[in-house]
Amino acid sequence: MLTIGFPRAMAYYYLYPFFRTFAESLGAAFVVSPPTTKATLNKMEFCPTDEPCVAVKLLFAHVKELLERDINHILIPCLVSVEPDNFCCPKFIGIPYMVQNALRDDARVLIPRIDLYRGDDAWQESFVAVARSLGVNSRRQALAALRKAAMVQRRFDRTVAEKRLTIEEAYQLYDKGKLFNGGPPSTPTAKKPVIGVVGHPYILYDTISLDILKQVRHYGPVLTAEMVLPEVAKKEIDSIAEGERLWSFEAQVLGAALHFLRQHLVDRLILVGSFECGPESIIESYVEDEARRQGVPFLLLTLDEHTGEAGLVTRIEAFMDVAPEKRPEVQVPVPAPERRLLPGPPPERMVVGLPSMGHLDLAIRCALGECGIDSLPTPHASKEIIELGKALSPEFVCLPFVITLGQMRYLLERGATHLLMVGGKGKCRLGWYAQIQEQLLRKLGYEFEMIIIDSPVPFARRWSKFRGAIKEATGNASWWRIIRALYNGYHRIAAIDRAEKECHRIRAFERQQGTVDKLFRRFVRAVEQAPDSTTVQQLLRNFLEEANSIEMEETNPVRVRVLGEIWVVLESYVNMHLERLLGRSTDPRVWVDREISVTNWFHQHIFPTREALRRREEIKQAAKPYLGTEVGGHGHISVGLTALARQEGIDGIIHLMPFTCMPEIVAQNILVQLSQRFDIPVLTWIITDQTGEAGFETRIEAFLDILKERKLAGGL
């Protein structure tokens, strides 16, 4: 009999009955790795990088323990979407591929994929493939096992909620065959405070939590998120704009927390998370606000492998000593925030402010101007802007959130009446920025309107909202005027992107370094002032002609590909003016290859061109052997561009990512293996508000020295 090993981490705490039922229905033995011990923690170094949250590193450690037991196959599911309208966190999508790339014998990893978002049953074929790996060639038998597994899991989830069991208690009963027996739900003991403890079960019930539930139970009975029926949690989530599109597991945690608070079921609430948990930085604001509204003391506990028991106990003791506020006698609507008057007289006209990404704000402001809408210049990222955003931001939210929030505050203080921001719920956090930022700004009393531009696709469901946002942003201009303005705005950013690409090449050969940069700065100012797209096109032709007349010299430059999360790649202040730094290098000279741009994204996603779609598919196919599905953001592209690098003449890779960026954490983990596989140097730079320029330049110089030595050795 074949044996399947299942790591006691991540998906285990959500779908153990499902995968055990599936495997055993096919005649395989199903073995779960033992509970986490100190020895397990020592095996977390099997994870190639230190950036993933502790849950990911624990999964690597548990895989290591299963491999040491000589298990036939390791099952690690790829959970893309377990509900039709939303996704799972990128780490649940990418973890099987992260582990697969870390193993020499990757054939031992079985990767069934669940993806209900697409609305079809294509994902079921991955379970059929797993069945074949186990020697079951009957597709009918595999699908029957899949249906049975889904039925058991649904029954399990409902039973746990109805009996008010923790996952840990439920699994013990399930393994003994006693879970589905009769028995009333547990009832909180009278005269003791009821404490809600919510968070991911893979943290709460792992040894890493230092048995936090046991410690909290000293003070009273505990309610956890799995004790709330999914439909009840969903009803609470529906009170949040687009709450149905929140990540599935986080939606259950948030929905349960809101239910406990609004129904006055708990006297205190603790949200337990892990260091660097991306989704938690989004739901944290909603939980904290509701706890404040209901007068319930709230504690956020963030744990990792270094958390000490003494400090944890002290924090819980102090929290339990906090006197609860007076509860409202009845549930009341969300109160309107205290308004803060903007500087100067009340605005008499619409003034739009928007965050920046590279030169995109220039194009958008020009388009707004053509529609008769006033806008404020977007401030460049700076220490001042970072501090404005950091003062309001959740602890582990990514740097793009912090800086764009800081830019919003700056613009509001200078008279903006409307803020324009992108939306679009997906796998990374970007789609939730605008909602959380609006909530945080209104908490300070700012008075403004937030206009969120979401994707219009699919048109049947989202066109109406998209149309309304565009009309609001343009002052209800005619569609002819809007289309003309967007057309001219597109040509401005496309011209700037084309000119930047030429700068990348010329910097590697110009005799007097810095000549093309002066020319480019003058070109950008002219594009901003140009009256129409015809003028912009002429400006671009003039720039290319002047740039190519710059005096050149013979050099042998190294080719450096810059990739990563699009915002930090395009924001020069945030990436320490990386491209300018590379362009100043004299030994070696550097030819930057940067494919990520606003124009390329536009051509691949909004108005696709044949060339852009061909390139997108090429990158996707190159990534597929190492990352079998998209994880959000530019994580998939980072892997694909790295896999293509050597054959495209690239000497080295610089990978940029903001601290806690979920898709790029997945990519970084895989890039470590690709660097060895393709023998290409990869430098990953993790950017925070504490990143120092001196250390950055030293690392870049050392990296370039490596590339120069390799190039010289290759030429001998």
Beta bridge partners of residue 272, listed in sequence order: 199, 301
Tokens 């547990």 locate to 186
Distance CA 699, CA 706 (A): 11
Asked if residue 343 has pLDDT above 50, the reply is no
Handedness of CA 263, 174, 149, 67 (dihedral sign): positive
Mean pLDDT value across residues 25-41? 95
Q: Which residue has the higher pLDDT, 79 or 426?
A: 79
pLDDT number for residue 691: 78
In the chain, the amino acid numbered 529 is: Q
Asked if residue 550 has pLDDT above 90, the reply is yes
Residue 710 near residue 588 (C-beta atoms within 8 A)? no
Under the banding of pLDDT at 50, 70 and 90, the label for residue 85 is: confident
By percentage, how much of the chain surpasses pLDDT 70? 94
Asked if residue 47 has pLDDT above 60, the reply is yes
pLDDT number for residue 348: 65
pLDDT number for residue 217: 95
pLDDT number for residue 558: 97
Give pairs for 688-693: CB < 8 Å, separation 24+: 688/399, 688/658, 688/659, 689/386, 689/390, 689/399, 689/402, 691/576, 693/576
pLDDT number for residue 395: 82
Residue 57 near residue 44 (C-beta atoms within 8 A)? yes
Averaged pLDDT score across all residues of the chain:
92
Asked if residue 556 has pLDDT above 60, the reply is yes
pLDDT number for residue 150: 97
Model confidence over 408-452: pLDDT tens digits? 999 999 999 999 999 888 899 999 999 999 999 999 999 999 999
Helices marked H in 507-647 — which ranges?
Answer: 515-529, 533-547, 566-570, 578-584, 598-605, 610-623, 635-644
In the chain, the amino acid numbered 214 is: K
Model confidence over 353-389: pLDDT tens digits? 999 999 999 999 999 999 999 999 999 999 999 999 9
Under the banding of pLDDT at 50, 70 and 90, the label for residue 457 is: confident
Distance of CA 609 to the CA centre of its chain: 27
pLDDT number for residue 530: 96
Q: Which helix (H) or strand (E) element contains residue 673?
A: helix 662-677
Confidence (pTM): 0.93
When mean pLDDT is compared across 23-37, 58-72, 104-118, 517-531, the lowest value belongs to 104-118
Under the banding of pLDDT at 50, 70 and 90, the label for residue 327 is: low
Under the banding of pLDDT at 50, 70 and 90, the label for residue 695 is: confident
Phi, psi of 104 (to 5 degrees): -70, -40
Q: How far is CA 519 from CA 363, 366, 500, in A?
A: 19, 21, 11
Mean pLDDT value across residues 309-325? 87
Strand ranges inside 304-382, DSSP E: 351-353, 374-375
Beta bridge partners of residue 446, listed in sequence order: 340
pLDDT number for residue 337: 38
Asked if residue 701 has pLDDT above 70, the reply is yes
Distance CA 564, CA 594 (A): 10
Asked if residue 220 has pLDDT above 50, the reply is yes
Angle between helices 479-506 and 598-605 (to 10 degrees): 130
Asked if residue 349 has pLDDT above 90, the reply is no
DSSP state of 267: S
Asked if residue 335 has pLDDT above 60, the reply is no
Distance CA 160, CA 164 (A): 6
Model confidence over 252-265: pLDDT tens digits? 999 999 999 999 99
359-381 in b/e form (b: 16+ CB < 10 A) is: bbbbbbbbbbebbebbbbebbeb
pLDDT number for residue 683: 97
Asked if residue 330 has pLDDT above 70, the reply is no
Asked if residue 338 has pLDDT above 50, the reply is no
Model confidence over 154-211: pLDDT tens digits? 999 999 999 999 999 999 999 999 998 866 666 555 578 999 999 999 999 999 999 9
pLDDT number for residue 611: 94
Strand ranges inside 336-406, DSSP E: 351-353, 374-375
Largest Cα–Cα separation, the chain: 86
- Beta-strand relationship, 3-6 and 29-32: parallel
Model confidence over 537-549: pLDDT tens digits? 999 999 999 999 9
Phi, psi of 327 (to 5 degrees): -75, 150
Q: Which helix (H) or strand (E) element contains residue 282?
A: helix 278-294
Strand ranges inside 41-172, DSSP E: 73-75, 78-81, 109-110, 113-115
pLDDT number for residue 183: 64
Asked if residue 555 has pLDDT above 70, the reply is yes
pLDDT number for residue 148: 98
Phi, psi of 6 (to 5 degrees): -125, 115
Mean pLDDT value across residues 41-67? 94
Which 3-state string (H, E, C) describes 312-334?
A: HHHHHHHHHCCCCCCCCCCCCCC
Model confidence over 600-629: pLDDT tens digits? 988 887 778 999 999 999 999 999 999 999
What is the token pair recorded at 530?
A: 């140009």
Under the banding of pLDDT at 50, 70 and 90, the label for residue 275 is: confident
Under the banding of pLDDT at 50, 70 and 90, the label for residue 240 is: very high
Asked if residue 456 has pLDDT above 50, the reply is yes
Helices marked H in 414-477 — which ranges?
Answer: 430-443, 459-473
pLDDT number for residue 339: 39
Residue 560 near residue 590 (C-beta atoms within 8 A)? yes
Model confidence over 279-309: pLDDT tens digits? 999 999 999 999 999 999 999 999 988 888 8
Residue 634 near residue 655 (C-beta atoms within 8 A)? no
pLDDT number for residue 608: 84
Distance CA 9, CA 13 (A): 7
In the chain, the amino acid numbered 528 is: E
